[in-house]
Amino acid sequence: MLKKRLIPTLLFKNNNLVKDKNFKSERGVGTPLPAVKIYNLREVDELIFLDVSATNNKKNPNYELISEISKNCFVPLTVGGGIYCLDQIEKLLSCGADKVSINTKAINDMFFLKEACNVFGKQCITISIDYKYNSKNEPVVWTNSGLVNTSKNLIDVLKDLNFIKVGEILLTNIELDGTFLGFDIDLYKKVVPLVDFPVIASGGAGELSDFVKLVKETDVSAMAAASIFHFTEITPLDVKKELIKNNIKMRV
């Protein structure tokens, strides 16, 4: 049976790991390399590594850093931030990434997204989508690390992605990010059945029961979290043990 995946997200900016609330990402939480070593020991299922400043500063991915990180990483490593062309993807794969995550460029240029899926296989491309609710309580997609409101309805974007048959998405609620208030369960309940590809839930995990609730009440394929692992004593292994206690199959 396919297990649910638990994925720590590591955000970085100018070679430092950062984490804050609602995508502000100003608070330094260390350096990436030691973090990856620790996470491997704790047996996470995957790691997502995102450069949150690359697109807005028009920077290329930090290939040297990825290359260093990958030496210690024997779980799948997804790398994102600043990707806008196929050459960058090839280079990332050749220096240690297993998958890439694309946000701004994927939302703005579906033609590019489709091409990337054709060249590298759709399973290699994770589309990262960030959303906020508007005044009518509709989920709306934001890009550029939460700085730009695209005014596109999240449901419409998901339908488009399903039509072009992408590999998987990382779906993050910006307003819950870093708040420890729990995942946006109602949204995942609604959107996961609309798409044929796996959905990774992200944003809001604050305690062990948040993960159990998410998996019990929705059909998400994976759960991503960052702040809970940076700022509390809870480790990925604690989360897995709690899920197993609740009869959810996890890899340990």
Partner 1 sequence: MSLKQNIIILNYKTSNIKSIFNAIKLYDDGVKISSNYKDLKNADKVILPGVGHFGMAFQNLKELNIIPTLRELAEKKKLFLGVCLGMQLLADASEEAPNIKGLGFIPGVVKKFNEKCNLKIKLPHIGWNEIKIKKSTDLTKDILSNSDFYFVHSYHFECDEKYVLAKTPYGINFNSIINKDNFFGCQFHPEKSLKSGLKLIKNFVDL
- Bridge-partner residues for 79, per DSSP? 49, 100
Q: What is the DSSP code string of 37-60?
A: HHHHHTT-S-EEEEETTTTTTT--
Chosen residue from 23, 45, 50, 188 binding partner 1 by CB under 8 A: 45
Asked if 240 interacts with partner 1 (CB under 8 A), we say no
Report residue 39 as tokens: 């996470």
Q: Going residue by residue from 124 to 163, which x/- string records binding to partner 1, judged by CB under 8 A?
A: x---------------------------------------
Q: Is 236 in the site for partner 1 (CB under 8 A)?
A: no
Taking contact as CB under 8 A, which single stretch among the options 3-11, 102-110, 155-163, 201-209 is the one that binds partner 1?
A: 3-11
Among the listed residues 15, 31, 57, 118, the single contact to partner 1 using CB under 8 A:
118
Among the listed ranges 25-33, 89-97, 127-135, 141-149, the one in contact with partner 1 (CB under 8 A) is 89-97
CA distance 62 to 192: 33
Distance, CA of 169 to CA of 40 (rounded, Å): 23
CB half-sphere exposure, 46, CA atoms < 13 A: 23
Spatial separation of the C-alpha atoms in residues 170 and 202, rounded to whole Å: 7
Provide the residue type at 137 as one letter: N
CB closer to partner 1 out of 96 and 203 = 96
Among 32, 146, 198, 206, binds partner 1 (CB under 8 A): 198
- DSSP character at residue 201: E
Q: Which residues form the interface with partner 1 (CB under 8 A)?
A: 1-5, 40, 43, 45-46, 67, 70-71, 73-77, 90, 93-99, 118-124, 167-168, 196-198, 219, 221-222, 251
